[in-house]
C-alpha cells in the first residue's frame, strides 16, 4: 500500500546505504527498470556500506600512470623524429 520506511543514509555522502553488494546491484536493476542510469555499486570508505553511482569506474592511479607514460613516450618520439629531420637537412 504505502512506501516502505526510509532507507538508512550515509552520514558522509547522504547516499542510500545497502548492506551488501548484491543488495546494491539489485537496487541498480530496479533503477534500470524505472529508467535511471546507475552504472555500478561501490563500497563506501566512510560508512563501509554499499552505494550506487551513475559514474563509471575511473581506474585509479594505475590508469593515470599509464596515461602519463603514454604522453611522455609520444613527446619523446616526436622529439626524436624532429631531431632526425633536422639532422638530415643540415648535411
Q: pTM of the prediction? A: 0.55
Sign of torsion over alpha carbons 12, 15, 18, 20 = negative
**pLDDT in the model for residue 89:** 60
Q: SS3 sequence, 13-24?
A: CCCECECCHHHH
Q: Where are the domains of the chain?
A: 7-57, 58-91
- Measured CA to CA, the distance from residue 78 to residue 11 in angstroms comes to 50
Q: What is the per-residue DSSP string for 33-68?
A: HTT----EEEE-TTT-SEEEESSPP--HHHHHHHHH
**For every one of its 91 residues, what pLDDT tens digit does the chain have, with 9 covering 90 and above?**
445 678 999 999 999 999 999 999 999 898 888 887 777 899 999 999 999 998 876 665 565 677 667 767 777 887 888 888 888 665 5
Amino acid at each position: 500500500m504505502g512506501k516502505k520506511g526510509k532507507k538508512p543514509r550515509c552520514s558522509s555522502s547522504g547516499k542510500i546505504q545497502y548492506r551488501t553488494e548484491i543488495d546494491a546491484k539489485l537496487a541498480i536493476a530496479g533503477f534500470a527498470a524505472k529508467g535511471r542510469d546507475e552504472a555500478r555499486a561501490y563500497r563506501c570508505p566512510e560508512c563501509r556500506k554499499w552505494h550506487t553511482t551513475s559514474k563509471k569506474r575511473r581506474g585509479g592511479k594505475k590508469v593515470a600512470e599509464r596515461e602519463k607514460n603514454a604522453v611522455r613516450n609520444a613527446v619523446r618520439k616526436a622529439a626524436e623524429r624532429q631531431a632526425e629531420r633536422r639532422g638530415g637537412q643540415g648535411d
